[in-house]
Amino acid sequence: MNRETAEPAYGFDADEIAADIARWAAVESPSTDPAAVNRMMDLAAETMAALGAEVERFTGLIGVGDAVKAHFAWGEGPGIMVLGHLDTVHLVGTVADELPVRREGDRLYGPGVLDMKGGMYLAAHALARVIKARDRLAVPVTFLFIPDEEIGSPASRGLIEREAGKCKYVLVPEPGKETFVTGRHAVLRFNLATFGKPAHAGRAQGPGRSAISVMARLITEIEGFSDVGKEITYRVGNIDGGTFVNVVPAVCRAEVLCVAPTHEAFEEIRGRMGALTSPDPDVRLEVTPGPVRPLFQIDAGTRDLCGLAGRIARDLGLDLGEGQYGGGSDGNFTGALGIPTLDGLGPTGDGVHTKQEYLDVSSLVPRARLLAGLYEALSDRND
């Protein structure tokens, strides 16, 4: 049987898959809470060990949770990596309050159901059914579960690049779209700090210089650099400053996230952020570069992988194109290294990074069948 075009009977059940994803989503795992992330990693490690994987754990660095590698030592030579994260932007307590895990018709709601616990569980479930049908593949398969993607993967980038370098293909089950994701815009982060002079805020005039006031002016300037039509964006997403309302704030800090769809835009962003100056000579400005996700653009290897996936998808009744998108992923790292990388393979849905995050239950079986078909087709290429 040619598994590039034929579809084995995997016996997927959407309700069963949704229930298991709900179990994963109920284990809250915000990036900034290592203990919470590690509870999620415990569950992932348990799931993969039950499938027969060799599980290895990497202690988290710089205040993040652990990473988990699950390896199936089949065949020889470089194989397949399934890459994704289990941290979320939702704080512990979200499940009990603003975003309870629940099923409403075709929608499964919960923290990370779409971004991207749902995708990583789905990829594991699909492999489990392939193992049941074939016992093993002809190539090694490695799952890499990342704890800090939502904060730029500062602790995990080296691990991702090292492990991906051992593989021939990388599959990333980030939220699905109407197209395969064959490229990702670059993402640059910057930390800003302004340092003013404290004074009693009740005085009409005095020696005080407000760090918050200067930061507010800088935010307007920075966000004004955006060119939405070209998908070049500068956004300030976190601000902290001041102590008491009656004290002129001496310090203010902000985080900036910039997105660059081209190499030229990448250099433009670095230049503009590096050239920022304080609009008040009495208030000092510091700009510190943060984690960077490099530009991932389609190349011959990724195009070939996408072509294979497209043939499998069409046999499943899915007509998926391809494209480059913003919203970085850990696929940025592997794609930028030139490793054939196919992203956006997870379930579809909406509300990523909001309290309305959900996945479409009806997308689970088609996407599971697509993943299973990819595993088999890539394995058969090595036969």
The ranges of the chain annotated as CATH 3.40.630.10 are: 14-184+295-380
- The percentage of residues in the chain with a pLDDT greater than 90, rounded to a whole number, is 94
Q: Please write the tens of the pLDDT for every residue from 196-244.
A: 999 999 988 889 999 999 999 999 999 999 999 999 999 999 999 999 9
CA neighbor of 378 nearest in space, from 138, 166, 180: 138
The distance in angstroms from the start CA to the end CA of the chain is 13
Q: Residue 3 — pLDDT band, cuts 50, 70, 90?
A: very low
Q: How far apart are CA 164 and CA 332, in angstroms?
A: 12
Contact 155, 161 (CB under 8 A): no
Per CATH, the number for 14-184+295-380 is 3.40.630.10
The ranges of the chain annotated as CATH 3.30.70.360 are: 186-292
Residue 1 has pLDDT above 60, yes or no: no
- Residue 273 host element (H or E): helix 263-274
- Its pTM stands at 0.94
Q: How far apart are CA 370 and CA 209, in angstroms?
A: 59
CA dihedral sign, ordered 318, 324, 330, 334:
positive
Residue 115 has pLDDT above 90, yes or no: yes
Q: Please list, in sequence order, all residues whose beta carbon lies within 8 angstroms of the beta carbon of residue 108, skipping any fewer than 6 positions away.
A: 18, 21, 22, 101, 102, 118, 358, 359, 361
Q: Which CATH architecture has domain 186-292?
A: 2-Layer Sandwich (3.30)
CA neighbor of 234 nearest in space, from 286, 270, 264: 270
Distances (CA, A) of 323 to 80, 99, 111, 123, 320: 22, 31, 27, 21, 10
CB half-sphere exposure, 135, CA atoms < 13 A = 1
pLDDT of residue 2: 44
Q: Please write the tens of the pLDDT for every residue from 116-170.
A: 999 999 999 999 999 999 999 999 999 999 999 999 999 999 999 999 999 999 9
Q: Residue 383 — pLDDT band, cuts 50, 70, 90?
A: low
